[in-house]
Amino acid sequence: MSTTFDYAPAPESRSIVHIRPSYGLFIGGEFVDGRGQGFKTINPANEDVLAEISEATEADVDAAVTAARKAFRSWSRISGAERGKYLFRIARIIAERSRELAVLESIDNGKPIKESRDVDVPTVAAHFFYYAGWADKLEHAGFGPDPRPLGVAGQVIPWNFPLLMLAWKIAPALATGNTVVLKPAETTPLTALLFAEICQQADLPPGVVNIVTGAGDTGRALVTHADVDKVAFTGSTEVGKAIARAVAGTHKKVTLELGGKAANIVFDDAPIDQAVEGIVNGIFFNQGHVCCAGSRLLVQESIADEVLGRLKARMATLRVGDPLDKNTDVGAINSAEQLAKITELSGVGEAEGAERWSPACELPAKGFWFAPTIFTGVSQAHRIAREEIFGPVLSVLTFRTPKEAVEKANNTPFGLSAGIWTEKGSRILWTASRLRAGVVWSNTFNRFDPTSPFGGYKESGYGREGGRHGLEGYLQ
Amino acid sequence: MSRTDVRKTYKLYIGGAFPRSESGRTYLVNDFSGALLANAAKASRKDARDAVKAARAAFSGWSDRTAYNRGQVVYRIAEVLESRRAQFEVEVAAATGASGAQARAEVDAAVDRLVWYAGWTDKIAQVAGAANPVAGPYFNLSSPEPSGVVAVVAPDSALLGLVSVVAPLIAVGNTCVVIASQAAPLVAITFAEVLATSDVPGGVVNILTGEAAEIGPWLASHMDVNGLDLTGVADADLATDLEAAAADNLKRVRRAGVEDLSASPALDRMTRFLETKTVWHPMGL
């Protein structure tokens, strides 16, 4: 008889975080009250109210854009070296306050502390550090001898990586001499507001970064504001299309990073244990709230049983629960609304005839939770093979030949990412060259780096974030 | 004794063939002085869809060619155009009223532009791509890939305008459906004869003549088109409508702008319709 030791809880202390009862908007370097109704942000792991958040109305957005425009005049004129130094400062302060940011991110978002601590926050600091270094080298970036900023950037980000998406938006915008008005998602505003304090600590000139909180109406007011020169959006394909329509005929430059339905392809010669880890990381990382999640597993028929057997065994060891517990692998679903969507689409999966499986796992009584789930017997026509679920739900399909794998992988309007698992180098390159996706992870998955361009083909959006490519969307 | 000359029927160019418009419609094309030149085909929605189908069918073969081979083909277009330059000088002059010297200069510029883009086919990946120094044991490479099928409204400049929008698209591996200048469509169809005899596979470039305001919306909203180049759209309302329609499947859009086509081009006509693909692989023993 084998014995296993139970995990003891290893909670990260939340005492490092001081959440204020209420937060205003960050406009012109100061916190001001919004004119809207206000809303609450809650902890998705226990539904406790964390804080009252101001809602920015059209007038508030206008004030923020005006502050950004005013700041642009001087910010775009100071030397790149000086701009870079502010960004280096911000990168350093983020590193100094990394524990606080990680805990706050996990509380507001529901993601496991080991992810916010080891992935989100370090990558945020690295992103600012990377673009800080570009600020005084733009004339060497390949966008002409005298690249000019666009002006005021209106940026709208999602709730799945609140601080990381903020970094992806703000760092390149500031490095290139633009000023920004950023709207965080309504369910995860807290780290953006803490970032506003970091801007104050860094003595960033007032108005260079403005944070307006609110929901869809606030976002709409921002992207349609006449004095916004650049729109950067990460979120759903549906909203991305609405933005593309709204900016038609204007001078606004747009980058969109939207949905995905990535294929994770496992060939019969794959290193299976590594592939299983990659499959798990691909779909259960961040509760599957990842636009580039490997949500369609394409496994070669001859090894499907073996892969699924090992995958299920691995899934049985995933620890679902308290995001602040350092042992937790899968945290809370970010909101009741998202949980309802995942629940609905999973129901559709069953109704359409796919076979549903989850490991035995105890979910907390309060908060929003969804057990890691796989569907087998999925066909390409099933909604769970076509629509983005944005949760810990994997659809498994099989294939016989590499050509069939590529065809199935590309059979989607999306094109954000893909995974390839095989020991054969030439097969990796053959497959990678045929996949219509912006990021291809071979024998790995869900890797991110400030130097690595990220973004989609087709309806996953356009433009790239990260690397030299990430500068282009912020230059004339 | 005078001879009655044999006139040419100007048709569309779709999938490497020269069909009439399925609609059976034509429109009058006059020269700069108002005298009849020909009846040009007036393309319909069905013609536009056929052209997209041909462009899509040609895409994988064309984008899979080696960059070196695409360069050879684009250079071949320049060679054939040069060899038929006398005909183009006459046609450009007839369409626009350009003097002999002006027409010669336009043909010169068109040939030179093709040569310029021919040289880019196997260089753009080195300029637009990157080896990314990620903070970890990974090989990480970004390379540009063509967006797919691009619909283009060509500018009114009869030959140089057409070459300036088509050459960059096909140099990087896209295939295209072009709405030729409504005022000067005949030069475009004669240019299609050059394409047809220059080793350009059928379907890589498809040329429609007719009204941009009529055909444009069908191409802008077509769900199997990946990009939209509005260079030749002068009407701001039409440009806005086409850009809005392009949002249905998030086409990459190049807006119309003020631009001097005779000036040396930048890279943006190529890069606007390139995607960046980043491939990761772990390093280790």
User: Distance (Å) from the C-alpha of residue B182 to the closest C-alpha of chain A?
Assistant: 22
Mean pLDDT for all residues in chain B: 96
Q: Which residues pair with A210 in a beta bridge?
A: A181
Co-location of A227 and A284 in the same domain: no
| Complex confidence, ipTM | 0.96
Structure confidence at residue A82 (pLDDT) = 98
Structure confidence at residue B10 (pLDDT) = 96
Co-location of A254 and A269 in the same domain: no
Structure confidence at residue B58 (pLDDT) = 98
Co-location of A231 and A282 in the same domain: no
CATH code: domain of residue A209:
3.40.605.10
Structure confidence at residue A3 (pLDDT) = 66
Check A199, A291, A459, A472 and give the catalytic one: A291
Question: pLDDT digit string (tens) for B127-136?
Answer: 999 999 999 9
List chain B residues with CB under 8 Å of A245.
244, 247
Round to whole Å and give the CA distance between A233 and A291: 13
Co-location of A92 and A32 in the same domain: yes
For residue A9, tell me if it sits in a domain.
Answer: no
Structure confidence at residue A5 (pLDDT) = 78
Round to whole Å and give the CA distance between A442 and B141: 12
Mean pLDDT of B272-280: 98
For residue A451, tell me if it sits in a domain.
Answer: no
Check A55, A186, A257, A459 and give the catalytic one: A257
Mean pLDDT for all residues in chain A: 97
Segments forming the whole domain that contains residue A190 = 22-258+458-472
* Closest chain A residue to B144, measured at CA: A438
Question: pLDDT digit string (tens) for B6-43?
Answer: 999 999 999 999 999 999 999 999 998 999 999 999 99
Structure confidence at residue A149 (pLDDT) = 98
A41 pLDDT tier (thresholds 50, 70, 90): very high
CB contact under 8 A, B280 and A442: yes
Residue A385 contacts residue A397 (beta carbons within 8 Å): yes
Co-location of A235 and A299 in the same domain: no
Structure confidence at residue B258 (pLDDT) = 81
Q: Strand A253-257 and strand B138-146: pairing? A: unpaired
A361 as an active site residue: the answer is: no
CB contact under 8 A, B130 and A467: yes
Segments making up each domain of chain B, as ranges: 26-258+269-282
Global pTM value: 0.96
Question: pLDDT digit string (tens) for A131-157?
Answer: 999 999 999 999 999 999 999 999 999
For residue B36, count CB atoms less than 10 angstroms from its CB and return exposed for 0-12, middle for 13-18, buried for 19 or more: exposed
Question: pLDDT digit string (tens) for A409-442?
Answer: 999 999 999 999 999 999 999 999 999 999 999 9
CATH code: domain of residue A395:
3.40.309.10
In chain A, residues 74-133 whose CB comes closer than 8 Å to chain B: 126
Round to whole Å and give the CA distance between A151 and A70: 10
Round to whole Å and give the CA distance between A38 and A23: 10
CB contact under 8 A, B276 and A455: yes
Question: pLDDT digit string (tens) for A346-368?
Answer: 999 999 999 999 999 899 999 99
Mean pLDDT of A391-403: 98
For residue A450, tell me if it sits in a domain.
Answer: no
The angle at the Cα of B158, spanning B157 to B161, to the nearest 5 degrees, equals: 50
Question: Is the pLDDT reported for residue A1 higher than 70?
Answer: no
Structure confidence at residue B60 (pLDDT) = 97
Co-location of A252 and A283 in the same domain: no
> According to CATH, what is the number of the domain B26-258+269-282?
3.40.605.10
Round to whole Å and give the CA distance between A268 and A299: 8
CB pairs < 8 Å spanning A and B:
105
Structure confidence at residue A2 (pLDDT) = 57
Question: pLDDT digit string (tens) for A279-300?
Answer: 999 999 999 999 999 999 999 9
Co-location of A235 and A330 in the same domain: no
Structure confidence at residue A6 (pLDDT) = 81
For residue A2, tell me if it sits in a domain.
Answer: no
Which of B241, B250, B279 lies at the smallest CB-CB distance from A240? Answer: B250
For residue A168, tell me if it sits in a domain.
Answer: yes
List chain B residues with CB under 8 Å of A292.
none
In chain A, residues 255-294 whose CB comes closer than 8 Å to chain B: 256, 258
List chain A residues with CB under 8 Å of B233.
none
- What is the H or E stretch that residue B134 is in? none
Question: Is the pLDDT reported for residue B261 higher than 90?
Answer: no
For residue A449, tell me if it sits in a domain.
Answer: no
Round to whole Å and give the CA distance between A136 and A83: 8
A199 as an active site residue: the answer is: no
Per-residue burial over A81-93, b if 16 or more Cβ lie within 10 Å, else e, is: eebbbbbbbbbbb
Co-location of A341 and A211 in the same domain: no
Tokens of B88: 């183009």
Question: pLDDT digit string (tens) for A438-472?
Answer: 999 999 999 999 999 999 999 999 999 999 999 99
Question: pLDDT digit string (tens) for B181-238?
Answer: 999 999 999 999 999 999 999 999 999 999 999 999 999 999 999 999 999 999 999 9
Question: pLDDT digit string (tens) for A44-97?
Answer: 999 999 999 999 999 999 999 999 999 999 999 999 999 999 999 999 999 999
Question: pLDDT digit string (tens) for B60-72?
Answer: 999 999 999 999 9
Mean pLDDT of B110-127: 98
Mean pLDDT of A376-386: 97
* Closest chain B residue to A241, measured at CA: B247
Structure confidence at residue A7 (pLDDT) = 85
Long-range contact pairs involving A139-148 (C-beta distance under 8 Å, separation at least 24): A141/A468, A141/A471, A142/A468, A142/B127, A143/A471, A143/A472, A143/A475, A144/B266, A147/A176, A147/A471, A147/A475, A147/A476, A148/A76, A148/A177, A148/A475, A148/A476
Co-location of A250 and A270 in the same domain: no
CB contact under 8 A, B130 and A458: no
Looking at the structure of chain A, the number of domains it has is: 2
Round to whole Å and give the CA distance between A298 and A308: 11
Percent of chain A past pLDDT 70, that is, above it, reads 99
Residue A223 contacts residue B247 (beta carbons within 8 Å): no
* Closest chain A residue to B237, measured at CA: A249
Mean pLDDT of A244-255: 97
